[in-house]
Structure 1
C-alpha cells in the first residue's frame, strides 16, 4: 500500500482523471456551478480521504503538473499577438480598468481584514488573491504571508470569477467585449481568462493582457497596501 501511495503515476492519474470528470459533468449539465476545476478539487479530496493518502505523498507526484503552470500562463501571449492592434487602440482604457480593479481588490481585502480583525500576516496572505498563481505565491512569500493559504485563496477567487463573471456582466449590462475582458482578467486571473476565451476572442485577448498587467502592477500596489495595515 505504501508503494501504491508513493507512486508518481497515482497522483498524476487522480489529478487528470478528476479534471476530465469535471469537464464531462460541465458539458452535460451546462451550468456555471459545475466548474471543472472545482469538481476536480472535490473529487481529489474525496479520493485522498478514501485511500487514506497523505497530502505530502500526493503533492510529491502531482508537482510535475505544477511545473506546467508557468508555461501555460506564458501561452496566453498567443491571443495577445493575434489581437495586438485591437489592444493597442484600447490600451489606455484597458490600463485604467486594470488599475481600478487592482485598487478595488486590495481595498476590499483591507476592509475585510479590518472588519474581521485579522493580523498582518493574514492580511498580506490575502492581498495577492487576484494575482495569477505564478506571481501571487511569490508575492505572498516575500511579504511573509502563509503561502499555502494564498494559493487556495487565489484558486477560489479564480473559480468564483469563472462561475459568476458572465452573470455579473448581464446583471450590470456590461456587454462590451473589451470591458468584459478587463473584468475577467483583473478579478479572476487565468481561471477567469479561460472563461473569457469561451465567450469570444476579444474577451480572451483583453483578459490575457489584463491578467498580465494585473500581475505586474499588483507587485507595486501590494507593497503600498502591505504597509497600511
Structure 2
C-alpha cells in the first residue's frame, strides 16, 4: 500500500483504513495546516505529526489510545498530592503560553514547529482549540491543549515545570469535561505516562465509531468560556 500525496487544492483524505501498518497509522503526506483541513482530518480520525524540516505527515493509528474521562486513574500518591494541591487550574486563559510550553519544555525535542503553533492559534481564535493552565501562585507551571470535537476532546500535548503539574491538568480537566457531557479524550498513541493515568487502547474502527456518535453533539452551552476550574487548597 503506497503513501498518498495530498493536494493543496483538495481537503479530502483517503479512508483511514488505508493507513500503513508500518509505521503504524501513516496515511498521507503533504497538503497544509489550514483550519479547514485540520478540522476535516480530526473529524475522520486523522491527525498531523511530523518532524521539523519534513513534509506534513498525516496519521490514523490502529489501535488508538483513548481516555473516557470518568476512567481517569487517580493513584494514592496523586490523591494525597491533590488533596493539598498548591495549584490552581484555569481554562482558556493563555493558549499561546501553553502551546509554547508544550513546544519548548521537552527533553526529546518537539514536533510543535512555528507552523504548527500558528495553525493551532488560528483554531483557538476560531473557538475550536482550547488550553488548560496550571498555576502555582501567578506562575504557569504546566498545562495541556487540544481540539474540541463536540463531546470528544482530542488532546495534543501537555507540559510540566513542577511536580505533578501535567497530571493535575488532566485530572481536573477530565472531571470538568465529564460534568459538561464529554464522552472521550483522544490520546492518539498510548505511552507510559497516559497509560498510568487510565488511557487504554481501542481499535481504529472503535474510535471512528465514537467520532461518528459524539463529534457533532454539543456540550453544555458556553462551557469553553475562559474560567477557573480548580482553586488551590493550601
> Which structure has the larger Rg over C-alpha atoms?
1
TM-score calculated relative to the size of structure 2: 0.32
TM-score calculated relative to the size of structure 1: 0.33
Greater relative contact order structure (CA < 8 Å, 6+ sep): 2
